[in-house]
Each structure stands twice: as structure tokens, then as C-alpha cells.
Structure 1
Amino acid sequence: MENIQHSSFLMFIALAFATIIFCKWLGFTRGKKQDIPPGPVALPIFGCLFQMLMNKPTFRWIHKLMAEMKTEIACIRLGKVHVIVVTSPELAREFLKKQDANFASRPSCMSGRITSHGYLTAALSPCGDQWKKMRRVLASEVLSPAIHRWFHDKRVEEADHLVRYIYNQCQNPLTNGIVNVRVAAQQYCGNVIRKLVFNKRFFGEGMEDGGPGMEEKEHVGALFTILSYLYGFSIADYIPWLEIFDFDGHKKTLKKAIESVTKYQDSEIAKRIQMWKDGIKKKEEDILDILINLKDSLNNPLLTLQEIKAQIIEIMIATVDNPSNAVEWAMAEMLNHPEILQRVTRELDEVVGRDRLVQESDLSQLNYTRACCKEAFRMHPTAPFNLPRVSTQDATVGGYFIPQGSNVLLSRPGLGRNSRIWEDALTYKPERHLLDDRSEVTLVDFELNMSSFSTGRRGCAGVLLGSTMTTMLLARLVQGFTWATPFDVPNVELAESKCDLLLEKPLIAHAKPRLNKNVYWKLQN
């Protein structure tokens, strides 16, 4: 019996060894034959899923692999899906500009399906009639320049509220001006988009000092959870028949976060629809009103209730992360480089002065302030990859064969920190974006040397809103207050979180009012 067991064990080892050799040979011959981008050896059926599971977070493992292979394009097979990761601006331009039509779709996967309520939204839906319909709605009815101007006063209200909230921290003897910049930035973004969508700052009462209440903290926290798990390298995203088992818990976490968001949003949507039906509501005031009242050619409602709910979730998650993360990192970098903070402050004093608050009409003159935002986007992106693109047919990019159905991921840190493109790539230098005195700094890099907002057919429809919110957030923080590290902290520790690209520790800083007292008095009254 022992001999039989010993022989079986040896046969198992031999079979496993033969499988590995075969896989290596298969990968070698296929790679030579079709010139697929370089990558780790993949097993049959599962691909590199086991390596992915053993090396969390996945994005750091992928970037480490690419650094070791010294390549700016890699192919990592997960299940049957070829995941193509790109850190080269030249290749990024070929994917998103030259061959944009072939790479304009989205993958069909568990996280995208659940978040979009079955692919009902503009950003997450694969190419097709639904995507075209929702994209048209966003571009012409929700995020157009005309609508942006219409919502100006709502954005100003929240920019004023931000200053009022921080001023209250300065006046509070318990906080004595100690501010959690991450909370202030994230809640500003949450407040803005809630005001634009629902015409309200808080779902609950909020705090007496103007800070977020329990409802707002849960809402924004759940939005960030959705962002973490959307296209978050779940097993079920690559082997759909394993979704029922939810081995990595992604599905459970994602559904719970969506429930936390819809708990507050769906009741507002239902209430508003009923108000329009009953004739109580007669004037459009926000994005929700717009979506409810859209009509098709037969004068029937253009959007279903599920489409409205799903699209509002997508609008929410698309708005809260980019501006808040960029500004928190920018403030952290500037606290460690006081000369940069002083230059931003000087620009604001020259353009705006200290007798009024900076307004959106001033932003076009704040070139250095925008350069600070852009440099934060370059060095410290909020997400490791752009939303995945899917090839609708076989293609050749940069001499490599890209199979139909491949998921293409542009690495945001890979592009923005590419030392071949950027001099002193790991140094925060806003002046690198100041081409000359006449050129206006924009937060989008259409040459894809960095990625703040995507481009092409799947480009971000909210570039104008996102750029405005980011610049206004930084401008109001710097103009309204003098900032310093807390008394017992000489420098901000600029370390990334192990599981994402946020600062490892939320930025805590000391704020002190620096404007004419009448400015704050007007806000308080």
C-alpha cells in the first residue's frame, strides 16, 4: 500500500512538472507565433489568477512584474481574458486615439454589471444602443456647458460652505484649527454632487459646525467602496461561472456598498417622481429633475426608473474621488515644499486679493494653481488604471498582437511617473506644466503623457465639472487659510497606502484664517 501511495505521489509530481513545462512551452510558442505582449506564464483555464490572488493588491503586483520585465506593455491572462497593461504614452495614444474605435467598449463582468444595474449607464456599458443613448443624455442634457453655467450658483454655495466649515474648526477651542483635509475635500465633493443631483447638501441634518453627518459619511464612504471594487480584479470578473461562490468576497462587499448608497438616493428619486406626477413640482432645479423629464420622439419618458437610479450612482462615483484625492496630495506636497504653497498664495492674492473669496470666474487667471492640480493628477492619481477598454476585434498595436476581447488598462502611475517622459518624475514640480506665459494650463493631457480624465469615445463627459471642482477646492483652501503641519509634526509623510493610491494617513493640518474678517462674517450670516 505504501509503495502504491509513493508511486501515486511521484506520478502527481511528474504530472504537475509536465504541466508547467507544457504551459511554458505553449506560452513561448504562442508568444513567438503571435507576438502577444510579454507576461507571466499562464495556466490552462485559470491563467494567472492564482498569482493574482497571492499578490495583493493586484495593481502593485502588475507594476512590479512590468518593472522586472523592463517592459511598457504586458499581457497577463486572467481566466480566458488577456489583460493588456500599458505604461507607454506612445502605445496609449495608439490604443485610445489611432485605434479608438476598436477599443471603445467595456468588459462584461460581475462588478460592472452590478454597479450599472445591468449595463444601463453611460460609462460602464459595452458599446451598443444603450451606451449611445446614455452618453447622449449626459453630453447634451446633464454635463453640457450650458447646464454647467446653470448650476454655477449651486457650486458656489458648496465652495462657500467649505470655507465656513474650516473657519468653524479654527474658531472651535476643541479643534483649534486642526483640520482633516481628506474629510473636508471628500465631503466638499460629496456636497457638490448631491446639490447638483438632488438640490440638497445633506441627506440628514449634518453637524452643527457644517461638517458631514452620519448619513453623508456613510454615503461618501460607500461611494469610495464601490470605486475600490469596480473592476477590482475579482475572480468572478474573469471566470463568470465562479461568481456564485464569491470566493474573494468582492460581490458581497460591492452589493452592500451599493445598498448603502441607494438607501439614501432611491427614496429621494421616488419622492421626486411622485412630486412631478402630483403637480407639486413644476420647475426643473437639478439633474434629477432633468432626467425625470426627458422625453423621446413620442413624448414618452426617455429614461426608465432603473436607468435614472443607475445613472445617478455612476454620476456620484465619477465625481467624488478625482478632485478630493488630487487636492489632498497637492496640499501635502505643498506643506513639505513651502515655496510652492507661497507661490500659489501669492498668485491668489494678486488675482483675487483678500477682501473677497475666489470665484469660478477667476480660475482662468490662476495658471500656477491649476498647474499644482495637474501635477497632483500626474504624480498621485486616484486609481491605478483607467476604466478598461475592450478590443472588439483582433488588432496589432506597437507590433504586438492584441486578441479580440482583450481588456486594455492604461496605468495612471505608469504614464504619469514614466521617467522616459518626465524629468525628475518622482518630484512634485508644478512649473513643468507652465509652457509659457500665454498658454492656459488645462487638467487634461490629450497626448496621454499622463491620465487625469480619459479621452476618445470613452472620454470623461464631466471634464469641465471635474476640472472646475478640483481647481476651486484647492484655490479656496489656500486663499482662505494659512496652512501648516501640526505643531508636533515637522513634515507630512508622503507614503501611499498599501492597498490603494491614497495617502497612507489622512492629511491632518493646522489652518488659520488669513482673509479680511468681513469675508468670514458674510459667510456666517
Structure 2
Amino acid sequence: MAATRIDSYLWGGAAALLVVLHLLLSRWFLRKPRSRLPLPPGPRGVPVLGALPLVGSSAHSNLARLAARYGPIMSLRLGSHLCVVASDASSARAFLKTADAQFAHRPDPISARDVSYQRQNLVMSDATPTWKHMRKMCSLHLLGGRALADWAPTRRAEFRRLVDALRRLHDAGQPVPIFNLLLYTLANVMGTISVGSRVFDDHGDESNKFKDVLSDLLTGGAQFNVSDFFPSIAWMDLQGIQAKMFKVSKRLDALVTRLFEEHQRTRESRRGAPDFVDKVMANKVSEDGATISDVNVRALIFVSLLPGTDTSSTIVEWTLAEMLTNPAILRRLQGETESVVGRDRLLEESDIPNLPYLQAVCKEALRLHPPTPLMLPHFSHEDCEVGGFFIPKHTRLLVNVWAIGRDPAVWENPLTFDPDRFLPGGKGARYDPLGNDGNFGFIPFGVGRRSCAAKLLGMLFVQYLVGTLAHAFDWKLPEGEEDIDMEAKPAWAIADAFTAAPIEAMATASMDSYLWGGAALLLALHLLLRRWLLRKPRPRPPLPPGPRGLPVLGALPLVGASAHSNFARMAARYGPIISLRLGSHLCVVANDASTARAFLKTADAQFSHRPDPISARDVSYQRQNLVMSDNTPTWKHMRKMCSLHLLGGKALADWAPTRRAEFRRLVDALRRLHDAGQPVPLFDLLLYTLANVVGTIAVGGRVFEDHGDESNKFKDVLSDMLTGGGQFNVGDFLPSIAWMDLQGIQAKMLSAHKRFDAMVSRQFEEHQRTRESRRGAPDFIDKVMANKVSEDGTAISDINVRALICDLFTAGTDTSSIVVEWIFAEMLKNPAILRRLQAETEAVVGRDRLLDESDIPKLPYLQAVCKEGLRLHPSTPLMLPHFSHEDSEVAGFFIPKHTRLLVNVWAIGRDPAVWENPLAFDPDRFLPGGKGERYDPLGRDGNFGFIPFGVGRRSCVGKLVGMLFVQCLVGMLAHAFDWELPEGEEEIDMEAKPGFALPKSVPLKAFARPRLSPAAYV
């Protein structure tokens, strides 16, 4: 029974935590010294939270204080994420110039997914061809020098409206809400340029909706979100931020979509005077084939309306605040503008080059108050070395622009607002805020390929607005307000965005910080309980029933290593569909034929993707293989190539001579072992035989010989990959601690992958060099390489090809070997079955030749034996996990998006409601007239009661060849040899070794004695 008493929960939790602690301590004390460079120095932080308590909400200032202790490049863990921080000009140069390519991507913050259209906008997308094409379109038609000149009349018109609004407020005796008016003005500029229409007016329902959604976006985007730092608990949405941002993104997208659709309907009216979106739509496909989708266009519109406007508004607000604090600066600026522009007209953009003090004022504001004090995080896509330190793959880079602009080693009196420093002769004159000077000491818009695409426009907005407002108006504080609050409002996403009341933040690694960490956990618990108690009843169907599990670990202690059998026991209590949380992941398990049908037939499309287990990333070539890839066009093309040229009926017939030759070599090897008086290590010999079949078919060469260094290396690495792939890995279920690699599995799998890939790469390169010698007799890889591009343009890369080869050697060899070994174990345990099979093969084949594939259709008992072996001992008792890409309802239950589906093939094959005496090895059930006759192991019968190879679009692509391997090997070895256990071994250990696959716990060794006439073996 599945444990349900409190003792079981306590034992499970204590045991699991002790194991984790043991593994952590063992790994700490037994770790080998690394030959690579060290990580940058930094604070140790506290368990789970890392350095979050030290960073606080005013991250930029606290990180600057930490840099004073640890140095300009420091590393620290923020929740689950390793981060490096660059805090001065030299470290910024090292990352943004020397290592710019390695850090060209963005991380994937959970709170930004919806508002970034799932990272399809210009700001959050990785550096992909589509991103490059979007950036190019923005530079050409929106943000570059020529585009700025084209749209100058639009800016002039909106800025004059702003001046009119300020005059009306003066006439009414009301103060100016400067930030809001600036934001609405700039949004109208960008709306007119982008989609040909203003988005804010003084009144109107649509305008109010836009104001509301913009306000909600700015508020929600600036909040600290626990889920961004602890993705493993993001599903809880403890603070409700994700739900709020999702609703806001829906409202925003509805508004943007209406703008976009209206824009498309009226495009004929703009013929001859196209706006930005018109130009993008006319150039959606780049010269190299990268395509901008309609979703990308809507995301671009959003980016132009929010990130393109609030940052400039922030700077102008800060500049006016500083000038009101220092009235002499305001008067001096007004004196300059009046001497150049006069008092009879408003300032124009063309005046700005003649106003050096205006330029200096704006630069000083950007230095002291950058709108984003920390650059948007960069993300490393590979290991690299920067500044003498090792920076691992998947590290987040934060560049502290705020600290760089206040570095006392560069700036004299850095906290003073002093525009003179930027005038000719000043120490700041050599610094360009656009980053063109190569100094990296003043980079408010960033530098490198991920620098702000709108820096020219942003600088123009700031200078034009500050100059216009200072020139056209005198400014004073409301009566009774003598001082301006110059503190910044702390924020994570849009830090320094508004002036606000002061807030204290600690930055030392004292006991107070650890207490703060405890308080954070208590707050998280409070939010969780509050959200639980106050939640609204949902109208949707319930989740499937299942065990509650423990905090953090979920039901992992109940599942254990033998997951398939424990799931079957749970199903007896909770029903055939159960849901449970395994660590951070919600899983559903289908345990009988009807539930398997519900998921694999009715909901097959929703569950056609794969999850992303950490331990499989390297060996799957970052999920670019056939087994672990999502259901993409590339995956479909790879599957089609395999069916056509390797695993389908026609291909099987073409490669029959290869299988026959290798199976005869296997028979010869068994005869040699008999002659030497040695038992047969059956699994190993089967594995090597099938690997040689695969090698010959795939790359035109055998990979295992009886001797040779390369052969031994292949044996070792294949063994390591199969062993590592079958182990339980804590990191797969608790991704937030995967970076620890507590058991060392990820490191072992990476090492095995690198060794395997080196060998496969050598074979692949040699194969490519010798392809002319196979002209007229191409192997599988030749055929794939000749058809890399499908009819719809989908291409298979060289990496996909190497990943396919890896699939063939791992998934295509050990599974069949496992089943054959189990069948022989069952027959040695039940000798009458072996004798009956030998009699059948002898009657059909005779004693003067070996069994051939063509004999199999005439051997019904052989087919029944193999089917029974697959029923009782499926090589993978749980199908590879499926992954839902959308919410769905299955069999009356609600299944959320991103749920993992496990189909318990082992339990289905032993269901007593379907199979009489299910634990008995009884091939008769599959003979004509037996109750199992109607079941097809290849899943073509529609019954779902016997599915060892799976069913549906993610079923095993190699099921035909797998079935053929099993039948041919079992028939040939039973026909050609008598089998007996070594002397003194009367019982066979029938326990399975727990893991992803189910090999025998104790490998079978038996003596094989030739039983045919000598002529059969020649």
C-alpha cells in the first residue's frame, strides 16, 4: 500500500533530507580541486535565499557597497540563480566588449513572460536571427538618425500639446504631475510613429483604459517577485504577481491588437506616407530568411509604448527635481536657451547642438540618475573566462550602471549634481552617454549588441523636453514645500523609476541578515496561507486525486526508486488517474488502459511535448535529438527520415543482411564461450551485437570488436551513459538546487556526453570524408544528409544528426537487450517453455541452418513468448514523460499546462482486470484463442491494454525494429543452443534494478551448448 500514516510522512521526509544532506556534505568534502579558474569573489549568502537578504530592494546601491568589499567583479547567488555583477568601467568593458557574444542572450524571468509575449519582443528575446531582424527594422525605420529626422514633425506637435497642457494647469492654479504628463506625451509620439494614432487624449474611455493598464504594468513590473528567484515554486504564485501581470498583459494585448487591426484596415489611406509598422510589415522577411511574425509586431508596439517612454520621462523628472533643488542651474539653463532661442518662439530640436549647457545638464542627470540603474540582465549561453575568473554557462550578468556613474575613482564629488563637469575642459567631456567613446565609465544606455536600441531617440527626448520646459516656464515648488524628496523608489524591474519616500536597506553579512532571511520565509508562508485561505472556488473540474506529499519534496518519498510499482499501489487507492507533486513538478500518472487511451488518443496533441530534465540535457544535445525534442517541425522531419530510411518496413528489408551478419557473429561468440567452458554474459553480448548493427546501418562501421582501444572506450562511455541515465537525480525534481549537482550525476553525464560526442564526431567526419566510396549503397546518415531540408523548409542540422546517432546507440540497443535477457531468465525458470519453443523452431527451421527473420511469421509460439516477455518485463516501465503545453480536461479532470504525464506501462501489462494470473509468465495467453490474442504490442489494435512501445505521436519510432530484434534474437538463440545455469545456481534472481529502464538486478549468466548440426554454424 502507498504509505499514508504520519509515521510514513515523517520517515520519508527525514530520510530524504538526510540523504540530501549526506550527498551535499560528501560532495563538499570529497570534491576534487578544479583546474579551471575560480568564480569571482562574493558573499556566501544564506541557505535557499542566497544573497537576496544582502541585496534587498535597492539592489543597485547595496551591490555597490558589496563591490567595495569584494571587488568590481563579484558573484553571488540570488535564490536559485548564479549572478555576476560588474561595478566599474573596466569590468563592464570585460563583459560588454570582450565577452559580448557569450552574454548576448537574456534570462527568462517568470514575471516578464506574459508582458513580453513569451519573450518575442525586442527587449527580452534571445539574440536570434528574428531579434536581429527586428532590431535592424527599428534602427532603419524608427530609432536611427534618418528615421529621427523623418518623424521630427510628430515630436514637435506632441511637445507643443504638452506646453499647452502646462499652460492650462497654470491658468487653473494647479501643480504639474510632471511624470504622468511626460509619459502620456511620449506614448502619443510613439503611438503616432508606430501605428499612426495617438493613444492618450484628455478624455475618452479608450484613453482611460490605456492609462489604467500602463499604470498597472509599471506598478507590477517594479515589484519584487519571489518566483523570479525561485522558479521551482513559481506555480504557487505566492504574491499573486504572475496572475496580475497575466491579466494586465491580456488587457494590454487587447488594446494593442485593436490598434494593430485598425491600423491594418486603414493602411491604404497611408499609401505614400507609411508609418513604422507599415514599413515592418512590408519587410517581415530578412535576406537570410528570418521572419517577423504578427506577434513580434504587437510585441514591438508594446515595447515602443512602455519601455520607450517611461525611461525618458524618469530622466526628465529627475533633471527638473535637481534643478529645483539647485535653482542656480535652472536659471543658468534658462539664460542659455533664451540667448539662443529668444522669447518669441519655443525651442526646436535644431537648437540643441547650440546649447552646450543643456546637453551637460542632461548628461549629468543620466550619470546621477540612470533610469535603469542595473542593466537588464544578460545571460551566458556557454562557459567563459572574464577578468581572470570562470563564469559558468547560464549565469546572469548585472552591470551596475548606477555604481559606474558614481565611481569616485572616475568622478570628482560623484554625488553632486554638477553639469559643468561635462562642459568643454571638464573631466567628463570625454564621456559619451551613447557609449561611442570606448571608455565604459558612463553607459546609461548600455554598450554592445544588447545596448538600448533607442538610445539616440532617448537622448533626443530628454534634451528636447528639458530644454523646452526650462525655456518656456519658470518652475517652483507648491507653497509650504521647501525641500524635494530626492530618494528613489526601490524596484527590481524598473528601479529608480519614481521619486519616493526614503527606505532603509542593510548590506552587511551580519546576523541581522540571517534573521531577515527567516522573515522572508515567514512572509512567503504567510502569503501562501493567505492565498490558500482566501482563494476563490474555481468552476473548472478538479485535479485527479492523489497523495498530498510533503513540503518541498512532495510525494517523492512515497514514490521511491521503484516508481512503477509504487504508482500501481497508489492507483489501487486513488484510482487509475492520479496526480501528485514530485519535488517542483506536478505529474499525472495513467495506470490502466482506459486512462492511457484518454491521454494518448483523446489528448495526444496537448501532451505531445517533452519536459526538460536537467540530467538529460547534455546527452540529448540540449534536446536536439529525436527522443527529448518537443513536437517541432524539425522533430517531425527527423522522425520521417528515421521511418523512411531506418526503422520502417522498407528500410528493415534493406538492412536485413546487416542484421543477419551480426547475429551470426553473436552465435559464433557463444560457441567460442562454450568451447572455453565459460558462461555467457548475455546482456553485454546482446548490447554489443545490437550496437554493431546500429553502427553499420547508421555510420557504415561496427563500433565494438573483441579487442582494440577505441572499442573499449565505446563500451565504457555507453555503459556510463546507460547507467547515469537510469539514476534518480535530485536536480530533475528540484531544479532550484540543480546547480549543486548533489549526486554528481550531471557532471558524470556531461563527461560521458563529451567523450561520446568526441567519438561520434570522429566517426561522422570520417563518414563524410568517405561518402564517395558508398555511392550507390548509401547508409542511413548518407540518406539523412541528402534530405536535410524538408519540403516545407525545415532543416536537420549536423547537431541533430549527431544527436540521432546517440539516440540509436542508447535507446535502440539496451531496451531490446533488456527484454531478451528477461525472456531467457523466464525460460530458464520455466524449462518447459524453452523446450516447447525449441521444438517449434526445430519443426519449422530444422537442424541444418540457423533461424532467419523470414521464419518468424511461421513461429506463433515464438511470437507469443516475446509478447509475454514484453508484457511482464517492459524495458521502460514508465513511458518517457509527456508534457502538456496547455490546460486541458482529461477523463473529467483538469490538467494544468506544464504538467508531466507518466503512463505506467508496467501496471497496464499486469492489470488483473485485463490479464488472468498477471504475474505468471504464460505465453499461451497470446496464442490463437487466448485472451491476449487481440492485443498488438505495436499498439495498432486500439485497445491500449498492451503498449510496451507506447502509442500516439510520441510512441517509440523504433518499435518495428525493436520487435524484430527481440523475436529474431530469442528465436535464434533458443533454436541454436541449449541453456542451463552454472553449477550450484538453482534459482534465478528475478528482481529488477530500479531506474528509468528495468534490467535484471543481477545480470543473467548461463552456459550455452550448441544443439544443431555443425553445418548450421558454418
TM-score (norm 1): 0.84
From 998, 1001, 1004, the equivalent of 1:504 is 1001
User: Aligned partners of 2:797 and 2:808: how far apart in 1?
Assistant: 16
Structure 1 residue 513 corresponds to structure 2 residue 1010: yes
Contact 2:608 2:882 in 1 (8 A): yes
**What secondary structure is seen at the aligned counterpart in 2 of 1:428?**
coil
From 707, 728, 747, the equivalent of 1:252 is 747
From 871, 879, 883, the equivalent of 1:378 is 871
Contact 1:292 1:301 in 2 (8 A): no
In structure 2, the partner of 1:471 is 967
In structure 2, the partner of 1:3 is none
User: Aligned partners of 2:536 and 2:892: how far apart in 1?
Assistant: 17
Distance change >3 Å, CA 300–CA 364, structure 1 → 2 = same
Structure 1 residue 485 corresponds to structure 2 residue 986: no
In structure 1, the partner of 2:706 is 206
In structure 2, the partner of 1:398 is 891
Structure 1 residue 124 corresponds to structure 2 residue 628: yes
Shift of 1:298: 9.8
Structure 1 or 2, whichever has the larger Rg, is: 2
User: Aligned partners of 2:866 and 2:531: how far apart in 1?
Assistant: 45
Distance change >3 Å, CA 25–CA 169, structure 1 → 2 = same
In structure 2, the partner of 1:192 is 693
Contact 2:560 2:566 in 1 (8 A): no
In structure 1, the partner of 2:596 is 92
User: Aligned partners of 2:983 and 2:583: how far apart in 1?
Assistant: 52
User: Aligned partners of 1:160 and 1:193: how far apart in 2?
Assistant: 15
More moved, 161-170 vs 245-254: 245-254
Shift of 1:474: 0.4
Structure 1 residue 272 corresponds to structure 2 residue 741: no
Gaps of 5+ in 1: 1-7
Map 1:58-69 to 2 at 5 A.
59=563, 62-63=566-567, 66=570, 69=573
User: Aligned partners of 1:227 and 1:29: how far apart in 2?
Assistant: 42
Question: C-alpha deviations, 1:369-426, integer Å up to 9, x for none?
Answer: 1211111111112223101111222222222211111110001211111222211111
Structure 1 residue 443 corresponds to structure 2 residue 944: no
Shift of 1:251: 1.6
User: Aligned partners of 2:767 and 2:702: how far apart in 1?
Assistant: 16
Equivalent residue letter for 2:1000: L
From 133, 137, 142, the equivalent of 2:637 is 133
Gaps of 5+ in 2: 1-514
From 323, 333, 337, the equivalent of 2:826 is 333
Shift of 1:333: 0.7
Contact 1:345 1:478 in 2 (8 A): yes
User: Aligned partners of 2:644 and 2:691: how far apart in 1?
Assistant: 23
Contact 1:166 1:179 in 2 (8 A): yes
User: Aligned partners of 2:945 and 2:819: how far apart in 1?
Assistant: 17
Equivalent residue letter for 1:461: V
Query: Which one scores higher on RCO, CA 8 angstroms, separation ≥ 6?
Result: 1
User: Aligned partners of 1:23 and 1:196: how far apart in 2?
Assistant: 61
User: Aligned partners of 2:717 and 2:839: how far apart in 1?
Assistant: 37
Structure 1 residue 494 corresponds to structure 2 residue 990: yes
Distance change >3 Å, CA 25–CA 350, structure 1 → 2 = farther
Shift of 1:86: 1.5
Distance change >3 Å, CA 31–CA 379, structure 1 → 2 = farther
Shift of 1:267: 0.8
From 419, 439, 453, the equivalent of 2:912 is 419
More moved, 474-483 vs 138-147: 138-147
More moved, 237-246 vs 290-299: 290-299
**What secondary structure is seen at the aligned counterpart in 1 of 2:877?**
coil
**What secondary structure is seen at the aligned counterpart in 2 of 1:225?**
helix
**What secondary structure is seen at the aligned counterpart in 1 of 2:813?**
helix
Distance change >3 Å, CA 388–CA 139, structure 1 → 2 = same
In structure 2, the partner of 1:37 is 544
Shift of 1:124: 1.4
Question: C-alpha deviations, 1:255-300, integer Å up to 9, x for none?
Answer: 2232342232221001112334xx4553444222223332537999
In structure 2, the partner of 1:228 is 726
Structure 1 residue 319 corresponds to structure 2 residue 812: yes
Shift of 1:199: 2.6
In structure 1, the partner of 2:576 is 72
Shift of 1:131: 1.8
**What secondary structure is seen at the aligned counterpart in 1 of 2:739?**
coil
**What secondary structure is seen at the aligned counterpart in 2 of 1:511?**
strand
Contact 2:881 2:901 in 1 (8 A): yes
Contact 1:370 1:442 in 2 (8 A): no
From 922, 926, 944, the equivalent of 1:429 is 922
User: Aligned partners of 1:233 and 1:241: how far apart in 2?
Assistant: 13
In structure 1, the partner of 2:757 is 262
Contact 2:599 2:607 in 1 (8 A): yes
Distance change >3 Å, CA 30–CA 382, structure 1 → 2 = farther
Shift of 1:58: 6.1
From 666, 691, 716, the equivalent of 1:218 is 716
Distance change >3 Å, CA 85–CA 30, structure 1 → 2 = farther
Distance change >3 Å, CA 375–CA 188, structure 1 → 2 = same
Distance change >3 Å, CA 496–CA 300, structure 1 → 2 = closer
In structure 1, the partner of 2:955 is 459
More moved, 216-225 vs 421-430: 216-225
Shift of 1:480: 0.7
**What secondary structure is seen at the aligned counterpart in 2 of 1:35?**
coil
Shift of 1:505: 0.8
Distance change >3 Å, CA 486–CA 441, structure 1 → 2 = farther
Question: C-alpha deviations, 1:333-361, integer Å up to 9, x for none?
Answer: 11111111111111101111111111011
**What secondary structure is seen at the aligned counterpart in 2 of 1:147?**
helix
More moved, 301-310 vs 410-419: 301-310
**What secondary structure is seen at the aligned counterpart in 2 of 1:83?**
strand
Contact 1:486 1:510 in 2 (8 A): yes
Distance change >3 Å, CA 219–CA 473, structure 1 → 2 = farther
Contact 1:381 1:413 in 2 (8 A): yes
User: Aligned partners of 2:992 and 2:935: how far apart in 1?
Assistant: 27
More moved, 164-173 vs 242-251: 242-251
More moved, 151-160 vs 191-200: 191-200
Shift of 1:466: 0.8
User: Aligned partners of 2:1002 and 2:539: how far apart in 1?
Assistant: 46
Contact 2:847 2:1013 in 1 (8 A): yes
Equivalent residue letter for 1:517: P
Cα RMSD for the two superposed structures: 3.5
Identity percentage of aligned residues: 27
User: Aligned partners of 2:776 and 2:796: how far apart in 1?
Assistant: 19
Shift of 1:247: 2.8
**What secondary structure is seen at the aligned counterpart in 2 of 1:510?**
strand
User: Aligned partners of 2:592 and 2:532: how far apart in 1?
Assistant: 28
**What secondary structure is seen at the aligned counterpart in 2 of 1:448?**
coil
TM-score (norm 2): 0.45
Contact 1:219 1:264 in 2 (8 A): no
Question: C-alpha deviations, 1:224-247, integer Å up to 9, x for none?
Answer: 235415xx5542x34544333223
In structure 1, the partner of 2:664 is 160
Query: 4+ residue stretches of structure 1 with deviation over 6 A?
Result: 23-26, 28-33, 297-301
In structure 2, the partner of 1:4 is none
